[in-house]
Structure 1
């Protein structure tokens, strides 16, 4: 009768080993599942990190662009408000007759010096003059047609009169040159 106990004992050992192996396999499965869960979490966090990094880089670029634009174009309202000052000074010099220029030479010269200084300040801040000539071709990107008239000896689209010079601020139109344009058809 000693043998049945051995067989039971062996069966118990085999059952214990099978249970241990099942537990070990379950632990391995749990461990694999845990590893997969950790990998998925890592991948999700890495994706979030890369998106946050890209967002930060885009924000940096956007703020740099905004800073450049503010630096280049921030004074455009003031500059636009100063254009009539230039126009009025130019009209004053052009309106003076030769007799008035002789009598008030110092005054006229002072106005001309002030105009040159104003243009120097404009230039320093990226403002350039758009000064078309009579006979130039009308360019809607730089000129504003104030009127059209048929003028003998001109072609359609030629500038026949300049009412006011225009100005650019860096690469943007601050004010287009105001011109009259020929409407001749031949």
Structure 2
């Protein structure tokens, strides 16, 4: 019996030792699993931040390309806007000349007309196109500015009755609207 008791005590000691070793292994495994989970979470966070930074850099590149293209196309709009009154004044000067003055100062008038054509060619080269409405055209608020409204017989409301100044487009943007008089409902 004493041997049996010794054997039971030995088995208890062995079972207890194995159980403790198993518990320690399990705790180490749990610690490693927690550490692995923490590393995976950190990796996922860094991956997310990297992807966001990459997308932000791509968006910045696209935005700067768009801004550069706009600067190339529309950067000269202030200068062009400042040159439009010069064109208007030259046109008025040619239109104001009487037939007699045109005969006497033919070379001068021709020089002004050539200068106007050269200015328009330069405008065209840089994407500036005139808006030249005609009397009788329909008023378009996207392209025209109504300077006055008057009832005129034999017209419809919204018809252009007078053109005070041409307008100009810079590519797809309105540089200056054409200044026009518009017919109101005839009285």
Q: Normalised by the shorter chain, which TM-score bucket?
A: over 0.9
- Residue in 2 that maps onto 1:36: 37
Q: Offset at 1:9?
A: 3.7
Give yes or no for the alignment of 1:82 onto 2:83: yes
3-state SS of the aligned residue for 1:153?
A: coil
- Residue in 2 that maps onto 1:180: 181
Give yes or no for the alignment of 1:169 onto 2:159: no
- Residue in 2 that maps onto 1:26: 27
Deviations 1:2-43 (A, max 9, x none): 665554444333222111111111111111111111111111
Query: 1: distance between equivalents of 2:146 and 2:135?
Result: 13
Q: TM-score, normalised by structure 1?
A: 0.94
3-state SS of the aligned residue for 1:57?
A: helix
* Structure 2 gap segments, 5+ residues each: none
Query: 1: distance between equivalents of 2:140 and 2:131?
Result: 11
How many residues are matched?
186
Query: 2: distance between equivalents of 1:48 and 1:21?
Result: 40
CA RMSD of aligned residues (A): 1.5
* Structure 1 gap segments, 5+ residues each: none
3-state SS of the aligned residue for 2:164?
A: strand
Query: 2: distance between equivalents of 1:174 and 1:146?
Result: 17
Query: 1: distance between equivalents of 2:4 and 2:163?
Result: 125
Counterparts of residues 8-157 of structure 1 (less than 5 Å) = 8-157=9-158
Q: TM-score, normalised by structure 2?
A: 0.93
Deviations 1:138-160 (A, max 9, x none): 11110001011111221111111
User: Is the contact between residue 152 and residue 186 of structure 2 (CA under 8 Å) also seen in structure 1?
Assistant: no
Query: 2: distance between equivalents of 1:79 and 1:101?
Result: 29
